[in-house]
Structure 1
Amino acid sequence: MKKHKYTITIFTENFIGLLSRITLIFTRRHINIESITVSESEVKGVHRYTVVVKITEEQVKRVVKQIEKQVEALKAFYYRDDETIHQEIALYKVSTKFLDGKHNLEFVIRTHQARILSVENKYMVIEKTGHKSETQELLELLQPFGVLEFVRSGRVSISKPMKELSEYLNEMEEELQSQRA
């Protein structure tokens, strides 16, 4: 089977140690996590994990089922890249010695739709939001200007399918009530 890049979105309650247990699911299956981000979601008290992996569809289905077995995991979904809108943010610390007008540093920044966040005596910090390939391309173009530091976030992603988390939570609540009756 062919491997594809998947974005797995996991909605959970916020409990200590849950991140460790979720990453352990991937580790046990020898699946490399390409990126992971955690944040609040649109529902109060619910956190959102966004995990990017490159695996087969069969593997992603098994992983999602295993994640949903965690008590604190409310729901997990997986999407291919064409089913999401996603971005990453990158920060570059670059030497200011090339801001003399003789070099094309400012042109590189502008043409890549990046922005300067801060200018200090010896360095400046540049921000670029985009897909990994876009932030990587800017990194390579900035190398001749003296990249002092570089950091890129994990993926943040929104799914294109329109069913809202609150709908899933309501369905889960109704299912629990019918099981109790």
Structure 2
Amino acid sequence: MESEKQEYTITAYTENHVGLLHRITIIFTKRKINIESLTTSESEVEGIHRFTIAVTETEEQVIKVVKQIEKQVEVLKADYYKKKEVVQQELALYKISTESLTRGLDVERIVREHNARFLTIEEHFVVIEKSGFRRETVALFEELKPYGISEFVRSGRIAVSRERDGIGKDVEKILAEAAV
């Protein structure tokens, strides 16, 4: 096992129960592991939710955390992936004043160069949307900063494994066996 910290994506397929998020975050808190991002959503398995958790830690610690997460009653399956084992993205929204657009074509050029798009243009503000890696959303933030960003938000990491099926198939098998 490597003892060097690196980026990992932890995925957990769960039933959707009140309090589970709290119990999962406590697992990280007890081990003094910082969660860099946490995203929950529906999964490809009907009625099952998916947690996607980004951390920078040693593999040994990540393995321990995944085992602890799997001990939660509502968790059907959990696993972890190294950076190269997932396809990942984030979504960012930037809100700037409409006035910034009237100061020339700079903002429009910046948005185009970053493969972003105008999500909405209102009387007093515009919202720009950018999906990509964190470094890409941060780069656009830095370029837009001189134009006055009034609001900024970035989603947590969303990721799918580079494996053909991922652990969703394992979850389907677990549910099928439980139904018998």
TM > 0.5: yes
CA apart distance, 1:97: 1.4
CA distance in 1 between counterparts of 2:168 and 2:68 reads: 22
Range that drifts further, 5-14 or 96-105? 96-105
Q: Which residue of 1 aligns with 2:106?
A: 104
SS of the residue 1:33 aligns to: coil
Q: TM-score, normalised by structure 1?
A: 0.92
Larger Rg: 1
SS of the residue 1:154 aligns to: coil
CA RMSD of aligned residues (A): 1.8
Q: Which residue of 2 aligns with 1:48?
A: 50
CA apart distance, 1:135: 0.3
CA apart distance, 1:45: 1.0
- Please list, as runs of the form range in 1=range in 2, the aligned pairs for 1:123-142 lying within 5 A after superposition: 123-142=125-144
Q: Which residue of 2 aligns with 1:163?
A: 165
Q: Which residue of 2 aligns with 1:79?
A: 81
Identity of aligned residues (%): 52
Deviations 1:35-66 (A, max 9, x none): 00000000111100000001100000100011
CA apart distance, 1:30: 0.4
Structure 2 unaligned residues grouped into runs of 5+:
none
Structure 1 unaligned residues grouped into runs of 5+:
none
Deviations 1:135-167 (A, max 9, x none): 000000001111111000000100001234453
- Choose which of 14, 31, 34 in structure 1 pairs with 2:33: 31
Deviations 1:12-48 (A, max 9, x none): 0111100000000000000000000000000111100
SS of the residue 1:143 aligns to: helix
- Structure 1 residues 174 and 14 mapped into 2: Cα distance closer, same or farther (>3 Å)? closer
In the alignment, is residue 10 of structure 1 matched against residue 12 of structure 2? yes
- Choose which of 147, 150, 153 in structure 1 pairs with 2:152: 150
Range that drifts further, 107-116 or 163-172? 163-172
SS of the residue 2:56 aligns to: strand
- Count of residues paired in the alignment: 177
